[in-house]
Amino acid sequence: MAKIILESGSILSFKGDALICFCDSDLTLKKNNPVLQFFSAKTRANSSQKNVVNKSYAQSKEQEDNLLRELSAIGFCEIGNAVITKAYDIDVKHFIFAPYINNDDTEDKLNFVLFHRALRSAFALANLYGVKSLAIPVLRIKIPKKEFMDKVISQVFDIKKKDVLNEKELTDIIIAISKEFENKFLEEIFIYR
């Protein structure tokens, strides 16, 4: 049974098998692909995930090119699915990219259901690759809940504003999904807050 450990501090201190990187875009975008920008020395300072891999890929463009070749070989990845790659030059074996935003839907870009699906997909990949220790960053942005939940809440409580998931709710979701995968290969699940 896997231990779920809540951690504070930099996720870069994690020395294990895999690290989940939440992506705020489709992995298949060719122009302005945030996954590739994620590792670019030019745009790393502006990346929403800069704290996850700030020291990774710092010294050479070669590692960025390696990642580009690897992602190109993978091909298409639907929103809500995950992709696993090598983790170049840091102390983990794999990165698991989990895209959770649908850029094709302008009215519902941040989606609670897609976040769930992306996280489940990331755990399934970790299981397939025999990952024993996994680190997960808690998202620092707020994700709007599904539209029908807004309608239900507004009808019951007469609330006009959008209800959003806060950091505690995101952590609770991660813990709940983690528990479903406890009896698989995973031995330790670190949640960095």
pLDDT of residue 172: 81
3-state secondary structure of 74: helix
pLDDT for 87: 77
Q: What is the pLDDT of residue 58?
A: 46
d(Cα 172, Cα 90) in Å, to the nearest integer? 28
pLDDT at 27: 58
Contacts 24+ apart (CB under 8 A), 109-112: 110/141, 110/142, 110/143, 110/144, 111/143, 111/144, 111/146, 112/143, 112/144, 112/145, 112/146, 112/149, 112/165
Q: What burial letters (b/e) apply to 138-167, b meaning 16+ CB within 10 Å?
A: bbeeebbbeeeebeeeeeeeeeeeebebee
Q: What does the pLDDT read at residue 17? A: 93
DSSP letter assigned to residue 146: P
Residue identified by tokens 């609670």 is: 112
Give residue 91's pLDDT: 78
Q: Are 182 and 6 in contact (CB under 8 A)?
A: no
Domain borders along the chain are: 3-30+77-192
Question: How far apart, in whole angstroms, are the C-alpha atoms of residue 108 and residue 51?
Answer: 26
CA 141 to chain centre: 12
Q: What is the pTM (predicted TM-score) of this model? A: 0.66
Second CATH level (architecture) for the domain 3-30+77-192:
3-Layer(aba) Sandwich (3.40)
Question: Mean pLDDT of successive 10-residue segments in the chain (193 residues)?
Answer: 81 85 62 49 41 45 68 62 77 82 58 78 88 83 53 51 64 80 79 82
Within 10 Å of residue 47's Cβ, how many Cβ atoms?
Answer: 18
Question: E strand or H helix at 27, and its extent?
Answer: none
Output DSSP code: residue 183: T
Residue 84: what pLDDT?
84
Order of strands, edge to edge, in the sheet holding 94-99?
Answer: 3-7, 188-192, 133-137, 18-23, 94-99, 83-86
